[in-house]
């Protein structure tokens, strides 16, 4: 934690040149013993320019269960056709639902 080389991130939307596929074919496995697209992008970046877009809007970390739920709730609340009904559902759930201790397998 706290050792990232940058405070920037990639949100998973790419427009890549076809040359990336040649690099991926010979790419060694990286983190998680998987072929990493970002490793291939670093190699391609040495041969051709890359461009990014500095997004200033709201982002969500969907890599955790809480972040995934937060993103979906926010999406529903942003929609004009769902805002009122979902706000009501959330209020009702906050009044009715009590936390329970998890036991055994995840559900």
pLDDT tens sequence across 53-102: 888 888 888 888 999 999 999 999 999 999 999 999 999 999 999 999 88
In a domain, 60, yes or no: no
In a domain, 104, yes or no: no
Contact by Cβ (8 Å): 70, 60: yes
Say how many residues make up the chain.
107
What is the domain count for the chain? 2
Q: Which domain holds residue 49?
A: 1-55
Q: How many whole angstroms separate alpha carbon 84 and alpha carbon 82?
A: 6
Quick one: pLDDT band at residue 10, thresholds 50, 70, 90?
low
In a domain, 90, yes or no: yes
pLDDT at 21: 95
**21 and 47 part of one domain:** yes
**20 and 47 part of one domain:** yes
pLDDT of 107 > 60? The answer is no
In a domain, 103, yes or no: no
Kindly state the percentage of the chain with pLDDT values over 70. 89
**50 and 87 part of one domain:** no
Tell whether pTM > 0.85.
no
């Amino acid at each position: 934690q706290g050792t990232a080389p940058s405070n920037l991130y990639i949100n998973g939307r790419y427009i890549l040149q076809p040359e990336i596929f040649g690099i991926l074919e010979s790419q060694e496995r990286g983190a998680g013993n998987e072929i990493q697209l970002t490793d291939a992008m670093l190699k391609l970046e040495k041969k051709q320019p890359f461009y990014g877009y500095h997004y200033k809007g709201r982002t969500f970390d969907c890599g955790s269960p809480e972040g995934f739920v937060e993103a979906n709730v926010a999406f529903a609340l942003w929609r004009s056709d769902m805002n009122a009904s979902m706000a009501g559902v959330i209020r009702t759930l906050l009044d009715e639902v009590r936390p329970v201790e998890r036991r055994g397998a995840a559900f």
